[in-house]
Structure 1
Amino acid sequence: MNRVEIQDVGSYLLAIASFLESSKRLWYRGQSKDNTEYKLLPSSFRNSTDEDYEMDFYMKFKAKAVPFLEKLPNSFWDWLFIMQHHGVPTRLLDWSEDALIALMFAIEYRSTTDPIEFDAVVWCLDPLELNRNFNFQSTRNNIPNIESEDITSIFGPESPPGVPINHPIAVIGSLNSERIIAQKGVFTLFPKPPSVRALEETNNADRFLSKIVIKKSAIDTIKKQLYNIGINESSLYPGLDAIGKIIIREHKENLLSAGGV
């Protein structure tokens, strides 16, 4: 698997450019820790890949969320995206089409001096190659919509048991939240248990996955460089919460530059 270590935004963009020489398209996922325990798995499988909790989460969320929704979702998949948006475990794993947003995600809550010993990482996925590798719509040069009948028949809530598929596929879905739009969100959809493995552990993962390691010693430098080119909290979380975070950060920076605490 391709692996590159970077120390600044410039070397990060050079790494992206080198990966794009052999891929028509890349998706990106930033993670704060580069270690073997922090795998490319959706939240519903973080504790176990043998149990299917999704329908239980779905039924409970659907029952309780209706009073708070201005518009009811049209499908199971719409519900799943809303669940994902609000932190309820699903079989979806988030990616971004924007490399700089993924880099910001990787280091958002990290600093050079924090006690965490691990570097951060941005995973780079070739979504077309992922789908081709498993012969899913292998003749297409576009990413399928999650609402399509062929995806629902294999991955949907009523798909028959015993379907011989044990890998995720790359999909696009409803842009039903400001956050998905701002983050240029796209997704990999994982199958139901029991045949679930982390994406980096699937067969021939080196064909569609690469990783860029952000050295811990460079995190503060990279974060400042991203701020200077306009990649900040509002790039990740549109709305008042991001405005609050930006104001607090700028206040702390002003104190430090003035010699305060």
Structure 2
Amino acid sequence: MNSVSEYLNKINEVFNSGQIERIWYRGQSKINDKYKLLPSIYRETEQEYLEYDLFLRFKAKGVPFLKYKPETEWDWLFLMQHHGVPTRLLDWSEDALIALAFAVEKRTTGDNHEEDACVWLLNPFGLNTQFNAFRDYKFIPNVEEERIKEHFGMKPKHLLTGAAMYNMQHPISVIGSMNSDRIISQKGVFTLFPQPSSDLKPLEETENHDQFLYRIVIKKQSIDRIKQELIRFGVNENSLYPGLDSIAKEIERELKNK
């Protein structure tokens, strides 16, 4: 793929290839074994119970810096994700151009020789039909639903009491807490993965992944061109990271191009 128009045409091809109601997008700047569709918590060597330990630590230390106090554990988890703490969440966007911008934004002319970038396309309903507990859903579940808690809860297994058991092997598409300007501007949606286990695979290696997952490769020699086309279409720093810093970078870029 060498241009924005070609990218959009490929997305239309995916829509037209089957009965797909919705697509989520995730841009990745490189294609290699370090860029798997796995949440950050799974990239840590010590995975078991780590997320809950980080959750308790973040919750204890973060309160003085919050404008409002999150109401649920999931609110805290999404806030952790927003600030870069490893979690079981994997970010996606409902906006195809924002995902494309994420794929190319950190690439420069100097590293174009290294490797291609890509945008992953996820059919969120297609993923959820692979997961028996949500096969009958006609919508994307909110992470606060009780059934999510039953199958993907925050507490480690050794702290559970009663009948609740987390034995799920598939991630699931969810709508999460819109508790940051960045999530809103990036039209953020998420896949929630099960609690860490040794046999969990990246999304692109799971069984039947070709029924809900697609990839568009962005040729390395076209990255600069695509970055300029996105700016022309109004997708810029402030689209991805709204705030004064992004506005300043946008003004600086415009000044350099005069």
- Taking structure 2 as the reference length, what is the TM-score of the superposition? 0.92
Would you identify which runs of 4 or more consecutive aligned residues in structure 1 move more than 4 Å? 159-162
Specify the alignment match of 2:190 in structure 1. 187
Q: Is 1:121 aligned with 2:122?
A: no
Q: Is 1:170 aligned with 2:167?
A: no
Q: Deviation per CA, 1:141-194, whole angstroms, max 9, x where unpaired?
A: 210000000001111123746633112100001111100000000000010121
Range 245-254 or range 167-176, more displaced: 245-254
- Structure 2 distance, partners of 1:49, 1:226, is 39
- Taking structure 1 as the reference length, what is the TM-score of the superposition? 0.91
- Structure 2 distance, partners of 1:18, 1:48, is 39
Query: Counterpart amino acid of 1:20?
Result: F
- Structure 2 distance, partners of 1:164, 1:80, is 20
Specify the alignment match of 2:14 in structure 1. 19
- Structure 1 distance, partners of 2:30, 2:225, is 17
Specify the alignment match of 1:131 in structure 2. 128
**Identity across aligned pairs (percent)?**
56
Q: 1:84 to 1:153 in 2, by over 3 A?
A: same
Structure 2 counterpart of 1:198, from 198, 202, 221: 202
Q: Deviation per CA, 1:16-65, whole angstroms, max 9, x where unpaired?
A: 11111221110000010012321001111123485331011111111110
- Structure 1 distance, partners of 2:220, 2:109, is 5
Range 47-56 or range 94-103, more displaced: 47-56
Unaligned stretches of 5+ in structure 1? 1-5, 255-261
Structure 2 counterpart of 1:92, from 78, 89, 94: 89
Q: What is the RMSD of the two structures over their aligned residues, measured on CA atoms?
A: 1.5
CA contact under 8 A between 1:123 and 1:211: conserved in structure 2?
Answer: yes
CA contact under 8 A between 2:28 and 2:102: conserved in structure 1?
Answer: yes
Q: Is 1:10 aligned with 2:5?
A: yes
- Structure 1 distance, partners of 2:114, 2:93, is 26
How many residues end up aligned between the 2 structures? 249
Q: Is 1:153 aligned with 2:150?
A: yes
Q: 1:51 to 1:118 in 2, by over 3 A?
A: farther
What SS is found at the alignment partner of 1:136? helix
What SS is found at the alignment partner of 1:158? coil
Query: Counterpart amino acid of 1:96?
Result: S
Q: Deviation per CA, 1:206-259, whole angstroms, max 9, x where unpaired?
A: 1110001111100111111110010111111111111011112222222xxxxx
Range 8-17 or range 41-50, more displaced: 41-50
- Structure 2 distance, partners of 1:230, 1:78, is 31
What SS is found at the alignment partner of 1:34? coil
Structure 1 counterpart of 2:26, from 19, 25, 29: 29
CA contact under 8 A between 1:143 and 1:170: conserved in structure 2?
Answer: yes
Specify the alignment match of 2:235 in structure 1. 231
CA contact under 8 A between 1:127 and 1:208: conserved in structure 2?
Answer: yes
Unaligned stretches of 5+ in structure 2? 159-164
Query: Counterpart amino acid of 2:118?
Result: V
CA contact under 8 A between 1:12 and 1:212: conserved in structure 2?
Answer: yes
- Structure 1 distance, partners of 2:229, 2:46, is 38
CA contact under 8 A between 2:153 and 2:166: conserved in structure 1?
Answer: no
